[in-house]
Amino acid sequence: MRKHLFEGLIRPPFTERSPAAGDAAMAELATSLDRAARQRLGRSLSIRAVDAGSCNGCELEMHALNNAFYDLERFGIRFVASPRHADVLLVTGPVTKNMREALERTYAATPAPKWVVAVGDCAVDGGLFAASYAVVGGVSAVVPVDLHIRGCPPSPTEMLKGLLALLEQANAERRAP
Ligand code: SF4
């Protein structure tokens, strides 16, 4: 028993080491995104997540944006509970027949200017579930999509890069004569 206790004190943990805190590239990306949102909207970006039928893999990556490592809210970007407060709808999964109306109503409730981002391969065209009797198809089969972010699932960094590209394009279109 004493041997086990002693080993427990000196043995390193079996779990993976956590990534280094304060990822500079991530911070730069999020700061650029917040700046682009302020240029376009005059304030920070508000995001509403919509699960239209995913396996939850994409949600896990999306939720990571709010965890202690990514901590997106420190840059002013936040997830909101209602589409009425949202600028961007981040939609995951193939759209199932059961979720079709909910997605349409969420889109209708979001005030303009609004953007729809389809997150993950399933959101592009149904992905793995495309042939299912319960699936309508990708997000663009139900509501207009401004950006597709591919991956199964895409990483939080890829989601941020996609959002930044979207807002930079919106700013460029606004400046164009
Ligand atoms: S893209 Fe992959 S992780 Fe995302 S909902 Fe589809 S199967 Fe799941």
Closest CA to 118 of 61, 162, 77, 157: 162
pLDDT at 22: 55
What six digits make up the tokens of 6? Answer: 């002693």
- Mean pLDDT for the chain overall: 87
Q: How many CB atoms lie within 10 A of CB 105?
A: 11
Entry pTM:
0.83
Question: What's the 54 CA to ligand 1 centre distance in angstroms?
Answer: 6
Grade residue 55 by pLDDT with cuts at 50, 70 and 90: very high
* Residue bearing the CA closest to ligand 1, atom 2: 152
pLDDT of residue 92: 96
The alpha carbon of residue 148 and the mean position of all alpha carbons in its chain are separated, in whole angstroms, by 11
In order of 81, 104, 122, 146, the CA distances from 135 in angstroms are: 25, 15, 10, 21
Does ligand 1 come within 6 angstroms of the Cβ of 127?
yes
pLDDT (0 to 100) of residue 36: 80
* pLDDT for residue 124: 95
pLDDT in tens, 39-53: 777 878 899 999 999
CA of 62 to the centre of ligand 1 (A): 12
Q: Is the distance from the beta carbon of residue 50 to the nearest atom of ligand 1 less than 6 Å?
A: no
